[in-house]
Amino acid sequence: MSDLIRRPGGNISPYSAPEGFSRSEGKGLQRRQNTEIANGLVTATRVQAAGYVAATGMQLTAMLSREAQFQSDGDPHTAERLNFIADSYAEYAALEVRRFQR
């Protein structure tokens, strides 16, 4: 069984279990290590994607809020309606970020 990520130490044979491990124990250990590395890669990717979605959502929400303020031109009724749109988008962006936690 090959490693997902090359282990430090150069050209080590695929069977690089600690002393005292049988061949099957070494393969089991390597399999479990590969599983943990794969889980770590998936988790890191999810965290990075959630961060990107959060940053984009915040930027676009700020842009919508600023545009709502500009378009309302001091009219409180219009400002209320436009802010509802900006708030709805903010809720949608937050929902998308929460989906990465599953």
**Contact predicate 13/25, CB 8 Å:** no
C-alpha to C-alpha distance for 76 and 87, rounded to whole angstroms? 16
Global confidence as pTM: 0.67
C-alpha to C-alpha distance for 76 and 34, rounded to whole angstroms? 59
Alpha helices in 4-100 (DSSP H): 23-72, 76-99
pLDDT tens readout for residues 64-78:
999 999 999 989 999
Range with the poorest average pLDDT among 11-20, 25-34, 35-44, 85-94? 11-20
C-alpha to C-alpha distance for 17 and 25, rounded to whole angstroms? 8
Which residue, among 69, 61, 50, has the nearest Cα to 87 in the 3D structure? 61
